[in-house]
Amino acid sequence: MDITKDTQPMTNFRNHEAEFMQHLKETKRPLFLTVNGTAAVVVQDAEAYQRLLALAANANVEEALRLRLESPGSLVLSVNRALWGEVTAQLRAVTATLKTKTIYLKFYFDGAPSDDDRESVGCIGSEVIADYPAPYLIEEEIIIAPSPEPILYEEDWMMVYRRKEIML
C-alpha cells in the first residue's frame, strides 16, 4: 500500500468516481478518502475486501485453536485419553507440562519399567502429540520412583494420573 497514492480528497473521488473504481479493481489496494485533510473513510474493491475478511476469519480460527491447545485443560484431557488401556500395574503417576510448543510427559514407575511399560509410554506420547499440530513436539521421560517414596514434581507440572496407594 502506498499511502501517498492511495489517499485522496473526497471531492476528487466524487469528481472522478469511474477512474478511481477502475484503479481499485486493478490494484486491489484500499483508497483512503479525506475530508478537510483528515482521513474519513476507506473505499475498497469488493473482491479485495472478501479476501481481507477471509484472512481475518482464518486468523481468528488459528488463534482460537492455539489458545485451546495451550490451555492446561486440553493437555490434561489429551493425556488422560491417551492413558486409556495403557496404564500398567507398575505405573504410579504421570505428570505433564507444555512449554514453548513442547509437551513434556514424565512417567513414574514403581521399579524398573518392563518392555511393555516402555512401549505403553511411547503409545501414550504418540496419542498425545496426535492432538497437537506441527510444530508441537513431545518429550517423554521415565522416572523410577519405588513405592512408598513420595512423587515429587515441579510446580508448573500437572499431575495427570496417580494410582491409589496405601500410605503407611
- Domains of the chain, by residue range, sit at 7-69, 72-162
Q: Which of 142, 166, 156 shows the shortest CA–CA distance to 93? A: 142
Digit-by-digit pLDDT tens for the chain (168 residues) are 555 567 888 888 889 888 888 888 888 788 888 888 887 888 888 887 787 777 766 666 666 666 666 677 888 999 999 999 999 999 999 999 999 889 999 999 999 999 999 999 999 999 999 988 888 999 999 999 999 888 888 888 999 999 998 766
Show the cell assigned to 104: 513434556
Q: Does residue 118 sit in helix, strand or coil? A: helix
pTM of the complete model beyond 0.75: no
Q: How is domain 72-162 classified at the CATH fold level?
A: Alpha-Beta Plaits (3.30.70)
CATH of domain 7-69: 3.40.1620.10
Same topology for domains 7-69 and 72-162, yes or no?
A: no
DSSP letter, residue 20: H
